[in-house]
Amino acid sequence: MFNFLKKTSQNIIQMLGKKTQKISKDALEEILIESDISYDIIEKMLDNLGENITRAELKVAFERFFRGESYYDKVKFSEITHSPIVYLVFGVNGAGKTTSIAKLAKRFKNGGKKVILGAGDTFRAAAVEQLELWSEKIGVEIITTKMAADPSALAFDTINAARARKMDYAIIDTAGRLPNQINLKNELIKISKTCAKALDNAPFHRILVLDGTQGSNAISQASIFNESLNLDGIILTKMDGTAKGGAILSIIHELRLPIIYLGMGEKEDDLVPFNESDFINGFLDSIFE
């Protein structure tokens, strides 16, 4: 069983009573709705299916979603080849942003890369302290500044330090609030522009961390960030504890953004790349014998 669908799978099996060889369209529709897949997607998936659906038929329907033009047209995470590779990370408090930054750093370090962190949530002492603890625990460098200092300056200093110290990656934290107020929106836009300037307009990653337990409710939150920041991808956290795993499809469909990683727990190694085949097979294994 694929861990990121564990709770979703348990919920599906409870609804069905037992696994089956064929499932009625009505029962499947109920399962997909309960898993937090948007009705727009469900309609498209079920449109060409009969009244009793086999594993192979549902697999084709999922694959059409992932391999259709609407998906691959825009939903791509572009790799960056120059150093340092910069990740500018956004997300509201409680979504698991700081922990996700630590997990990214550990993952890159485990791959033999040199990583530096930037504690850019400069107005929240707890965020800086938490990131400092993580940097010490996983053994990577960190750039900090005094409380309430300009976060754009911190981002600039982090990138310059990454260059000077020949780092492979720089991962920069930002304020953990929704940019629905003009001052915070402008602050985040300024940080993004500062990163571009520090990199001489070379590309970098703007990543949003979303709480996976929020299901489709996370979409409106992501839309606000994306409107201001032109995001490149999403890290979806707490996927080990949600029965709403189908929201993955809704997020991809609504936002046209790739889900890059899934957070599976609190430990620094609990971060896995999102894999569409694992998602499809995990979902099918929950329904069919």
Phi, psi of 185 (to 5 degrees): -55, -45
Burial of 172 (0-12, 13-18, 19+ CB in 10 A): buried
Q: What are the residues whose beta carbons fall under 8 Å from the beta carbon of 43, sequence distance 6 or more?
A: none
173 known ligand binder? yes
Please indicate if the annotation marks 240 as binding a ligand. yes
99 known member of a binding site: no
112: annotated binding-site residue?
Answer: no
* Cis peptide bond N-terminal to 84, omega within 30: yes
91 is in an annotated binding site: yes
93 is in an annotated binding site: yes
The answer to whether 68 is annotated as binding is no
> Binding residue per annotation — 36?
no
Whole-number Å distance between alpha carbons of 273 and 96: 16
| 145 annotated as a binding-site residue | no
97 appears as a binding residue in the annotation: yes
Check whether 245 is labelled as a binding-site residue.
no
Q: Is 174 annotated as a binding residue?
A: yes
270 is in an annotated binding site: no
Is residue 92 a known part of a binding site? yes
Residue 185, annotated as binding a ligand: no
Numbered residues of the known binding site for GTP: 91-98, 173-177, 237-240
Numbered residues of the known binding site: 91-98, 173-177, 237-240
